Amino acid sequence: MTTAQRPTLEAVARRAGVSRATVSRVVNGSTTVAESIREAVRQAVEELGYVPNLAARSLVTQRTDSVALVMPEEATRVFSDDQVFPGIIRGVSQELEAADKQLVLMLAGSPAGHQRVERYTTGRHVDGVLFASLHGEDPLPGRLARLGIPVVCSGRPLDGAQLPYVDVDHVGGVTRAVRYLIESGRRRIATIAGPQDMVAGIERLIGYRETMAEAALPELVGFGDFTRESGAAAMRQLLAEHPDLDAVFAASDLMAHAAMRTLREAGRRVPDDVAVIGFDDIETAAYTEPPLTTIRQPIMELGRAMTRQLLRIAAGEDVEQVVILPTELIARDSA
C-alpha cells in the first residue's frame, strides 16, 4: 500500500461513525471517551489497518515516545564480555517497553561520536536522555538539562552538574570486601583500581583506601581500566613491586579474573597464597577457576531505576535527586 492509500483518521471516523477528533483521542490513549465508542474505534482501526502517523503526532504532542541511552564508549567495549553494559541496556529496555517507549542506543566513544550524539539529542529527537559510563567532566548532560531536556545519569557527574543520578554503593561494597579479607587474616592486601576518570573507579579506590587506613595497613595500589588486559598488566606490576602480597581486591570481575590467571602463571595459588575478590558479579564469575568471590551490584535494576526516574521527570513529577542501590558480598572459593 502506498502512502497515498494508507487509511486516514477521517476514514476510521467514517467507519466507526464518530468524529475525527474522537478517533484522535482514542488513538492517543485518552480515557475520557466512553468504552463503547473506544471499542468501535478500535474495531475500525483493525478493519482498515490504520497506523498512526508518528511524525505528525509528535508535532502536535511535542513528544517522540523515544528515550536515548548514551554510552561514551566504543562498540567493542559495550558489546564485549563485560556483561555490565548489556545488563544496563536490558534494564533500560525492559522499563521502556513497559511504558510503551522506544530505546535509542547511542555510543559516543570518539569525539566525532560525541558530537553526533549532541546534535541528535539537542535536536529534540528524544523525550529524554540517560547517560551511563560517563568519563571525566563531560559537559553534555548539564548542557542538555539546561535546554530543558530530561536527563538522568548513572553515577554522579564529575563536572559538578546538579543532575538526578542513580548509582550503586561502591564505597560500601569495597569496604565489605576488604574487611572480609582482613578478617580472614590477610595483611598485605593490594588493589587493582579502576579508571580515575569514572566515578566507579574513583569511589572503589576510596573504599579500599579508607578501609586500609582504618586497619592501619599499607596501601598497595595498581591501576587498570576494568578490562582483562589491564588487570593482567596491573597484577604483574604489583607482584614485581610487592612480591609478599597475600590478597588482591580488583575493581571489576574482568580484572580479577585476569589477576587470578596471572597469579597462577607466577606460581601463586588462589586462595592459598593470594586471595582475590572482584566487583560486579558478572555471570562468568561463578565459573572461573576457582569461582570468584565478588561484590554483586544490581546492574539491571540500575538501568530500570534510571529509566523510572527519567520517565517521571518527563511527566513533570518530582523525583529523588540521588538514588543509591545496595551491593552484596558473594563469597565463593577465591577468597
d(C-alpha 180, C-alpha 182), whole Å: 5
pLDDT in the model for residue 20: 83
Lowest mean pLDDT among 110-119, 179-188, 237-246: 110-119
pLDDT in the model for residue 29: 65
- Give the model's confidence band at 161: pLDDT under 50 very low, under 70 low, under 90 confident, else very high: confident
DSSP 198: S
Would you say domain 66-167+300-324 falls under CATH 3.40.50.2300?
yes
Q: For the residues 266-283, what does the mean pLDDT come to?
A: 97
d(C-alpha 199, C-alpha 206), whole Å: 10
What tens digit of pLDDT does each residue of 23-37 get?
877 776 666 788 888
d(C-alpha 278, C-alpha 284), whole Å: 12
Which grid coordinates are listed for 164? 538526578
Query: Is pLDDT above 50 for 3?
Result: no
Is the fold of 3-61 the same as that of 170-296?
no
- Give the model's confidence band at 61: pLDDT under 50 very low, under 70 low, under 90 confident, else very high: very low
d(C-alpha 103, C-alpha 95), whole Å: 10
pLDDT in the model for residue 33: 82
Domain 170-296 adopts which CATH fold? Rossmann fold (3.40.50)
d(C-alpha 303, C-alpha 71), whole Å: 12
pTM of this prediction?
0.79
- Give the model's confidence band at 114: pLDDT under 50 very low, under 70 low, under 90 confident, else very high: confident
Domain range summary for the chain, segments of one domain joined by +:
3-61, 66-167+300-324, 170-296
Question: Which residues have CB under 8 Å from 168's CB, separation 6+?
Answer: 297, 298, 302, 324, 325, 326, 327
Burial of 75 (0-12, 13-18, 19+ CB in 10 A): exposed
- Name the β-bridge partners of 296: 280, 328
Domain 3-61 adopts which CATH fold? 434 Repressor (Amino-terminal Domain) (1.10.260)
